[in-house]
């Protein structure tokens, strides 16, 4: 027998009345969604639990702004709050990390070499290193650029979805993504250049 | 799509495959901590709200002022035939009395 579906509207009513049990149930229900977004977009130096907690605090304090009656599912609204919270955290980073070739593991180096290579070559097969290498290169980008590439390329979101999540226009998303990929290439080339020194 | 973009997309696909894990559940005590943090968060003071709203109020006043100045400037460039007549009448009355 499957567990009963979570009754979001009833839970929201209770949370708005200040019911702590309902609030805890809501956190448990939304945690997988929030933590997935936080893991994809958090600054490297920020603990994911701290950022997730910040997201939930914002959700609770802005709950009056969410009206399910206009057809927007709670999950969409939560995603938007989570993305903007992560973006704020990325923007508040004083400095972006600086990586040297020596900081990269063997698998990551193979991926960076592959990204900037011009000769035909098969892609490395190590998916974990791919994750590390892409995360590392993305961390070198400006927050907005990083966000758009993560959403578009890593999470395979559509331009329309990104537009809804961020509030940017469709063409702004496309232009930003194009420029961000150019910057990624520049960073990858810079990293590989160090390996030749 | 250029060669870098093609290769980057391959890397992104591989990175996605690494992240294909079942959705995590909240760690023990996380929900309690999050709710406690929310409930203990201070309610924004009246002064903070005022500071937040004051800029908007100032903006509104500045806009209204600019609109009034514009209207005034537009009116001052127009001829006002009544002013001269009224001035003449007053001065005539003044001289007649003397």
pLDDT digits (tens, 9 = 90+) for A118-161: 888 888 989 999 999 999 999 999 999 999 999 999 999 999 99
Q: What is the pLDDT of residue B46?
A: 66
Q: What is the pLDDT of residue A176?
A: 96
Note which residues in 12-41 of chain B have CB less than 8 A from chain A: 12, 14-19, 23-27, 30-35, 37-39, 41
Q: What is the pLDDT of residue A98?
A: 81
The answer to whether residues B14 and A130 touch, using CB atoms and an 8 Å cutoff, is yes
Among B12, B27, B33, select the one facing A153 at the smallest CB separation. Answer: B12
pLDDT tens digit string along B60-71? 999 999 999 998
Among B11, B30, B39, select the one facing A130 at the smallest CB separation. Answer: B11
Q: Which residues of chain B are within 8 Å of residue A181 when distances are taken between CB atoms?
A: 4-5, 8
Q: Which residues of chain A are within 8 Å of residue B8 when distances are taken between CB atoms?
A: 115, 153, 181, 184-185
**Is the pLDDT reported for residue A1 higher than 60?**
no
Q: What is the pLDDT of residue B30?
A: 93
pLDDT tens digit string along B3-46? 899 999 999 999 988 866 677 888 999 999 999 998 887 766 66
Mean pLDDT of chain A: 89
Q: Which residues of chain A are within 8 Å of residue B4 when distances are taken between CB atoms?
A: 115-116, 181, 184-185, 188
Average confidence (pLDDT) over A54-82: 88
Banded model confidence at residue B52, pLDDT cuts 50, 70, 90 = low
Average confidence (pLDDT) over A49-69: 89
The answer to whether residues A86 and A155 touch, using CB atoms and an 8 Å cutoff, is no
**Is the pLDDT reported for residue A79 higher than 90?**
yes
* Nearest-by-CA chain A residue for B19: A131
Extract the tokens encoding A162: 């990104």
Banded model confidence at residue B87, pLDDT cuts 50, 70, 90 = low
Task: Please indicate whether, in this complex, the C-beta atoms of A57 and B38 are within 8 angstroms of each other.
Answer: yes
Measure in Å the smallest separation between the Cα of B1 and chain A Cα atoms.
Answer: 10
Measure in Å the smallest separation between the Cα of B44 and chain A Cα atoms.
Answer: 11
Q: What is the pLDDT of residue A55?
A: 95
Task: Please indicate whether, in this complex, the C-beta atoms of A57 and B10 are within 8 angstroms of each other.
Answer: no
Say how far apart CA A79 and CA A59 lie, in whole Å. 10
Q: What is the pLDDT of residue A52?
A: 95
- b/e code A122-160 from CB counts within 10 Å (16+ = b): eebebbebbbbbbbbbbbbbebbbbbbbbbbbbbebebe
Checking ipTM against 0.85, whether it exceeds it is: no
**Is the pLDDT reported for residue B81 higher than 60?**
no
CB–CB contacts below 8 A, A to B: 107
């Amino acid at each position: 027998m499957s567990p009963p579906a979570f009754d979001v509207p009833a839970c929201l009513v209770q949370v708005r009345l200040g019911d702590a049990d309902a609030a805890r149930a809501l956190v448990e229900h939304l945690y997988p969604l929030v933590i997935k977004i936080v893991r994809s977009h958090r600054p490297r130096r920020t603990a994911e639990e701290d950022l997730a907690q910040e997201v939930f605090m914002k959700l609770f304090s802005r709950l009056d702004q969410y009206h399910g009656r206009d057809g927007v599912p709670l999950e969409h609204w939560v995603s938007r709050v989570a993305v903007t919270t992560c973006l704020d955290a990325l923007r508040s980073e004083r400095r972006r990390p600086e990586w040297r070739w020596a900081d990269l593991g063997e698998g990551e180096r193979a991926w960076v070499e592959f990204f900037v290579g011009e000769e035909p070559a098969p892609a490395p097969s190590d998916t974990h290193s791919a994750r590390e290498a892409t995360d590392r290169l993305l961390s070198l980008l400006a927050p907005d650029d990083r966000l758009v590439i993560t959403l578009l390329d890593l999470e395979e979101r559509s331009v329309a979805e990104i537009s809804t999540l961020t509030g940017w226009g469709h063409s702004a998303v496309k232009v930003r993504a194009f420029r961000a990929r150019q910057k990624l290439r520049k960073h990858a080339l810079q990293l590989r250049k160090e390996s030749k020194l | 799509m250029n060669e870098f973009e093609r290769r980057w997309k391959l890397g992104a696909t591989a990175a996605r495959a690494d992240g294909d894990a079942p959705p995590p559940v909240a760690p023990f005590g996380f929900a309690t901590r999050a709710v406690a943090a929310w409930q203990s968060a201070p309610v924004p003071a009246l002064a903070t709200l005022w500071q937040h709203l004051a800029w908007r109020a100032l903006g509104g006043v500045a806009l209204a002022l600019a609109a009034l100045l514009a209207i005034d400037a537009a009116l001052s460039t127009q001829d006002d035939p009544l002013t001269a007549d009224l001035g003449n009448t007053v001065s005539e009355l003044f001289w007649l009395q003397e």
